[in-house]
Structure 1
Amino acid sequence: MLLALAMFCAGPVLAAGQSGFVRVEGTQFVVDGKPYRFAGANFWYGAYLGAPDGLGDRERLVAELDQLKDAGIDNLRVLAMSEASGFLRGVSPAIMGKPGQFDERLLQGLDFLLVEMARRDMKAVLYLNNFWQWSGGMSQYVSWATGEPVFDPDATGDWNGFMQNSARFYAIPEAQAWFRTAIRTVVERRNSISGVAYVDDPTVMSWQLANEPRPGSDPDGHPNFPAYRAWIDETSAFIRQLAPRQLVSTGSEGAMGSLRDEDLYIIAHATPNVDYLTFHLWPSNWSWIDHEDPAARLESGLATSLAYVDRHIDIANKLGMPIVLSEFGLNRDKGSYDPASTVAARDRFYRAIFDRLLERARAGDAIAGSNFWAWGGRGRTGNADFMWKAGDPFTGDPPQEPQGLFSLFDSDASTLRIVSDHARAMHALP
């Protein structure tokens, strides 16, 4: 009786013949025959907030899901696997303590998140690994497999070396075997609250291979590209076999994450096992806009950003696949991290990007949705250096970045209004 009640309360009641699963038809998403377009958020720490026994903050999670839903945000991109590591800026605790050992509390946090999202008719994109160090990720698998210390860019300052080391992951059989165990653990999980198997839950829109997988560091990444391409094809096929009713995506940044080469981006995604394309947009990280003062070169950087958006939508049109701008963001005014600081440049950036996405969607192009980076909600740091420490509240900025760098806080009314207006405009498209 309790299980049945939990399942009844887990989400909206579907009419006969409806599945609620997101499907791909041509260059668009559909749900039960109707177009599905969205303006969503990155909410990487959702499973952490959902954890029980005082580890998480379920009250905060429920309140923030309500706020997001009220704003029209109905798609969340969430970290579904993290690895314990020795990185200076790694998140703690981790879902996987070592290969094959998982923290049930954090997996229950993911259960709770999915149940609460289902109640609000929201969809989840769950990514299963990370090219970067802040959640352990690929370099931690390399360390486990080789016995070498982690290659920590926050300690060495060597980001090119880190990227090359992280890309070793694709060609290490033992690391791939452990990763597949981790994939099975999440994808084949049965929700401890609702009793619904994840593979039978339409709340899960897509399984994403990783956050920003790259073939290495340009100009030295080409030797890794064949292994990277094979990894995308083989891992996406593995997930499709486990979860045939859910979509698979890579989590790629687009050309900038493909050795700055659009052709390599296309080649890497030339597999029937990937259902749709993703790309990211980081103009201040890529030096198109001034990191310390976004207003200084905003208009020129925005023109470059919009051209990048257009090129990727054109690629998706050519390939006949939907595409999602699954990360984008900009610093607060004057590079501040303070939630009380102004966000005029960021609001201008968000509005311009959303206007272009809406324009292309109205024209029938392949753009299907977006997820801004990132929802910070009620999260605040009390640390003078704004850097996260274990036990601190989570914000949208992961541990290797200052807390407040790209976060959209619950107090950022102007930016949230821009997101909300765009969400409603996307939902209104025929």
Structure 2
Amino acid sequence: MSSVSRRGFIGASAIGALALGLNLGRPAHAQGAGFVSRDGAHFKLDGQTYRYVGANIWYGAYIGSAASFGDRTRLVKELDDLKALGVGNLRVLGSSELSPLINSLDPAFSYEPGKYNDDLLTGLDFLLAEMGKRDMKAVLYLTNFWEWSGGMVTYQYWTNGGHYINMNDPAHPWPEFADFSAQFYADGAAKQAYWQYVGMLTNRVNSITGKPYKDDTAIMAWQLCNEPRPGGSDAAVLANADAYYGWIADTAALIRQQAPNHLVSLGHEGLMGANMHEDILIKAHEHIDYLTAHIWPQNWSWVDKDDLAGSFDAGAAKVQAYIDAHIRIARQINKPLVFEEFGFPRDNIAYDPGTPTTFKDRFYSLIYKAVEDAIVSDTPVAGSNFWAWGGAGRALHADHHMLRGETAYVGDPPHEPQGWYSVFNTDTSTQALIRAHAARLKALASA
């Protein structure tokens, strides 16, 4: 663990202030060979339209560490397996905050403002170095609206005298946690601590390659947050909207000033993350390079977990309508669209590798067909990242609950049952769908 000085914090504050004076409306077009850029509603890479098959592997930097909680041999194998499937884009956790929140990660990238975990940072170095060898691109998200990596509530806890609430606390039922988390956008001290981290990471020099992050072609985009909502209740969403827009604009400007070769992403769920307020979703992406949407049929009660067979078709219709709505919005704002999270449970809501994936596979097929059809129709759809690659990870306990400090990472974060949405290295039918989709996208690119 290392720390920065008080002078370092003042410097980060100055960077945050600088962000306020930048031309927030300018588009970010990456320059140079190997960088992904945006040209209207499409990504470009070395002069060609860039579309991709992607995965979420939030724990990449964790197993990339040389410390006891890491497993570099496993990471190399996971990357090789993903590459063999045709996966070329990975969405990865680039920040976590040590927190008193239940089910949050330990270790974490940050122990408190300005005190960072060198073991995890070098784990991220290793991940990016290995991705670069395989011509893979990373999207790094820089904090979390939710509790599992510390996130916005932890930044507030660090700066507000120690106040926080836990997600799913019976004393603070939904949407109290989401409304509390969204207070971050108007919290000056919490935002300065966050901006300090953003400034540190975008200016980092990779300890393995010697390459500054800002010059690394393995990074496609910096993502402000995982699923940043303006609130949970509709009243909070509307009340927080201006502070929310301000945080987005200021942070996007900061990233562009620090890492002008990279794209800026918000990490948004889409309409569900804006309580279906289309105007809020559009305004939130004013200073962002591309639109994202996340699709969670079970979480959103679009399917009945006790009757996946009987409820699948109705849920699928809602999924298609959600996809179509975001394609329409992406056309309207003339920016690329990525379905960067989508997940579905195994049959009978089982969690173990080897249990059937009949409906999971039907859902993946639905998403991949929608992406392929959208590309054939020359819409703004650029690709997708399934949630999530579990690979060789396995739950350690019969209740599939991950205990704090355990390191048998799967695709499901510690607040969820281990195996709920993971694609394991033994899930041959799901992997076949991913591989076939990658082949079709490659064929479309060369057509």
Say whether the fold is shared (TM-score over 0.5).
yes
Partner Cα separation in structure 2 for residue 18 and residue 223 of structure 1: 41
AA aligned to 1:84 is L
Q: Tell which deviates more after alignment, 191-200 or 387-396.
A: 387-396
Residue equivalent to 1:26: 40
Residues 87-98 of structure 1 mapped to structure 2, 5 A cutoff? 87-98=101-112
Residue equivalent to 2:268: 252
AA aligned to 2:217 is P
What is the deviation of 1:275?
Answer: 0.9
Match of 2:429 among 400, 414, 417: 414
Residue equivalent to 1:403: 418
Residue equivalent to 1:238: 254
Partner Cα separation in structure 2 for residue 339 and residue 149 of structure 1: 39
Partner Cα separation in structure 1 for residue 263 and residue 356 of structure 2: 38
1:203 aligns with 2:203: no
Identity %: 47
Kept after mapping to 2: 8 A contact 1:42/1:374 = yes
What is the deviation of 1:385?
Answer: 1.1
Kept after mapping to 1: 8 A contact 2:156/2:163 = no
What is the deviation of 1:226?
Answer: 1.0
Match of 1:158 among 173, 178, 187: 173
SS of residue in 1 equivalent to 2:305: coil
What is the deviation of 1:361?
Answer: 0.8
Residues 55-66 of structure 1 mapped to structure 2, 5 A cutoff? 55-66=69-80
Q: Which runs of 5+ in 2 are unaligned?
A: 1-30
Residues 248-327 of structure 1 mapped to structure 2, 5 A cutoff? 248-271=264-287, 274-327=288-341
1:104 aligns with 2:111: no
Residue equivalent to 2:380: 366
Residue equivalent to 2:7: none
What is the deviation of 1:18?
Answer: 5.9
AA aligned to 2:64 is G
Match of 1:426 among 441, 444, 447: 441
TM-score using structure 2 length: 0.90
AA aligned to 1:174 is A
Q: Deviations over 1:128-178 (max 9, x none)?
A: 010000000000111112113321024336231000000000101111111
Residues 170-209 of structure 1 mapped to structure 2, 5 A cutoff? 170-209=185-224
Match of 1:216 among 220, 223, 231: 231
Kept after mapping to 2: 8 A contact 1:95/1:103 = yes
Q: Deviations over 1:350-403 (max 9, x none)?
A: 101110111011110000010000000000012121011122400000000000
TM-score using structure 1 length: 0.94
Residue equivalent to 2:408: 393
Partner Cα separation in structure 2 for residue 21 and residue 81 of structure 1: 22
Kept after mapping to 2: 8 A contact 1:88/1:154 = no
- Structure 1 residues 292 and 220: CA distance shift in structure 2, 3 A: farther
Q: Which runs of 5+ in 1 are unaligned?
A: 1-16
Residues 348-363 of structure 1 mapped to structure 2, 5 A cutoff? 348-363=362-377
Kept after mapping to 1: 8 A contact 2:179/2:233 = no
Partner Cα separation in structure 2 for residue 90 and residue 159 of structure 1: 18
What is the deviation of 1:42?
Answer: 0.3
Partner Cα separation in structure 2 for residue 256 and residue 103 of structure 1: 34
Partner Cα separation in structure 2 for residue 291 and residue 26 of structure 1: 40
Partner Cα separation in structure 2 for residue 159 and residue 388 of structure 1: 23
Partner Cα separation in structure 2 for residue 335 and residue 242 of structure 1: 44
AA aligned to 1:246 is H
Partner Cα separation in structure 2 for residue 303 and residue 411 of structure 1: 29
Kept after mapping to 1: 8 A contact 2:396/2:408 = no
Partner Cα separation in structure 1 for residue 398 and residue 324 of structure 2: 40
Residue equivalent to 2:356: 342
Match of 1:378 among 392, 406, 414: 392
Partner Cα separation in structure 2 for residue 18 and residue 205 of structure 1: 13
What is the deviation of 1:338?
Answer: 1.5
AA aligned to 1:117 is M
1:73 aligns with 2:87: yes
What is the deviation of 1:270?
Answer: 2.1
Partner Cα separation in structure 2 for residue 343 and residue 293 of structure 1: 14
SS of residue in 2 equivalent to 1:347: helix
Partner Cα separation in structure 1 for residue 159 and residue 133 of structure 2: 41
Residue equivalent to 1:40: 54
What is the deviation of 1:269?
Answer: 1.3
SS of residue in 2 equivalent to 1:422: helix
Partner Cα separation in structure 2 for residue 227 and residue 152 of structure 1: 23
AA aligned to 2:248 is I
Q: Deviations over 1:313-360 (max 9, x none)?
A: 111011110011010000110111121210000100110111011101
Kept after mapping to 2: 8 A contact 1:295/1:333 = no
AA aligned to 1:310 is D
Kept after mapping to 1: 8 A contact 2:69/2:407 = no
What is the deviation of 1:262?
Answer: 1.7
Q: Tell which deviates more after alignment, 17-26 or 317-326.
A: 17-26
